[in-house]
Amino acid sequence: ERKALEEVKGKESITADGRKLELAGNIGTPQDIEGLQKNDAEGVGLFRTEFIYMNRDSLPNEEEQFQAYKEVLEALNPKPVVIRTLDIGGDKKLSYLKIDEEMNPFLGYRAIRLCLKEKEIFKTQLRALLRASIYGNLKIMFPMISSLEELLEAKAVLNEVKTDLDKEGISYASNIEVGMMIEVPSAAIISDILAKHVDFFSIGTNDLIQYTCAVDRMNEKIDHLYQPFNPGVLRLIKMVIDHGHQEGIWVGMCGEMAGDKRMIPILLGMGLDEFSMSPSSILPARKLIQTLTFNKTQELVEKVLSMGTADEIEEYLKNTIK
């Protein structure tokens, strides 16, 4: 098994009929670079920057952040590195940043909502990211966008920070792609419109499932209702991929679903371009993809999207993909 995986190292992630995909890794700190290299990641599809803010007693300053981003960008260069701006709140808390008690933290003050209110925190991170951009292939991604207004406001702050750097004579890469996560249903539903304003989408299924099915992802009592195979979730994912492609942008996925072997054939058939997962899942995913054909998985998608329950879909996939 291990040996079979060694064989796909250094190989492309390409289906038997020639569709080329990108298999990237999810990371939380520069210490994860080793795992990326060991598992032959083709890039970073999600750098969860909140870990740089956690387990300490004050905000990381611009210089500390700059060093962390630079380290990852340099190590991966010229491979793409998608760095997500701060996604704090919900299940992730900072001891030094007081957020009022909320009845529903996952529906509350988190991620981009917090960054657009606490502009200094947001701008410091964006300055560090822009400064680091000259050391590699940076793509900036905003989390938890739920409307066009939020996306445009986040982009406006990024442009303000660029103007500040211009005035100070500080350089940054000129070709930085800007993207957003699709993890809120309202964003998925207007993804045809949002796609006109970004360079890429990355689907965050951990939250998208939670919000689409109205199931708290931390509540064990209802975890049977947290369904990756839910037909509503799958239809939404297909819609987002189609909308992205209609507007000519690439669409990736960085939620747990992207590394799930049962799901990969479906996501491939839907046309997903980039799969970002825990680094240890990359080689098994590549091996699986080499055995699949894009053609057959497209037929599979059509079949599955006509089904009415998660159980039926899961059962069908189990019996069809061996």
What's the min distance (Å) between Cβ of 87 and ligand PEP? 6
**Contacted entry of Mg ion, ligand PEP, none for residue 255, CB cut-off 5 to 8 Å set by kind:** ligand PEP
Q: Is residue 255 near ligand PEP by the rule CB under 6 A?
A: yes
In the chain, beta strands by DSSP E: 22-27, 44-48, 80-84, 137-142, 177-182, 200-203, 250-253, 274-277
What's the min distance (Å) between Cβ of 144 and ligand PEP? 8
What's the min distance (Å) between Cβ of 85 and ligand PEP? 12
Q: Calculate the CA dihedral of residues 131, 133, 134, 135 and round it to 10 degrees.
A: 110
Q: Is residue 207 near ligand PEP by the rule CB under 6 A?
A: yes
Q: How many CA atoms lie within 13 A of 160 on its CB side?
A: 13
Q: Is residue 204 near ligand PEP by the rule CB under 6 A?
A: yes
Nearer to ligand PEP, 28 or 231 (CB): 28
Query: CA–CA separation, 289 vs 102, rounded Å?
Result: 43
Helices (H) and strands (E) in the chain, counts: 15, 8
Residues in the chain, total:
322
Single out the residue of 81, 145, 195, 254 in contact with ligand PEP (rule: CB under 6 A). 254
**Contacted entry of ligand PEP, Mg ion, none for residue 48, CB cut-off 5 to 8 Å set by kind:** ligand PEP
Which region among 13-21, 170-178, 205-213, 266-274 touches ligand PEP (by CB under 6 A)? 205-213
What's the min distance (Å) between Cβ of 255 and ligand PEP? 3
How many other CB atoms are found less than 10 A from the CB of residue 151?
20
Is 48 annotated among the ligand-binding residues?
yes
Instruction: Report yes or no: 99 and 93 within 8 Å, Cβ to Cβ.
Output: yes
55: left (phi over 0), alpha (psi -120 to 50) or beta: left
Q: Is residue 244 near ligand PEP by the rule CB under 6 A?
A: no
Nearer to ligand PEP, 181 or 249 (CB): 181
Active-site residue 115, yes or no? no
Q: What's the Cα-to-Cα distance from 187 to each of 103, 142, 161, 243, 315, rounded to whole Å?
A: 23, 12, 25, 11, 30
Please report, as ranges, the residues that interact with Mg ion according to CB under 5 A: 183, 204, 207
Q: Which residues contact 266 (CB under 8 A, 6 or more apart)?
A: 234, 297, 300, 301, 304, 317
Residues 213-242 that bind ligand PEP (CB under 6 A): none
Q: Which of 254, 264, 267, 272 is catalytic?
A: 254
Q: Which amino acid is residue 214, in one-letter code?
A: A
Active-site amino acid positions: 254
Residues interacting with ligand PEP, by CB under 6 A? 46, 48, 87, 183, 204-207, 254-255
Annotated binding site for Mg(2+): 183, 207
Annotated binding site for phosphoenolpyruvate: 48, 84, 206-207, 217
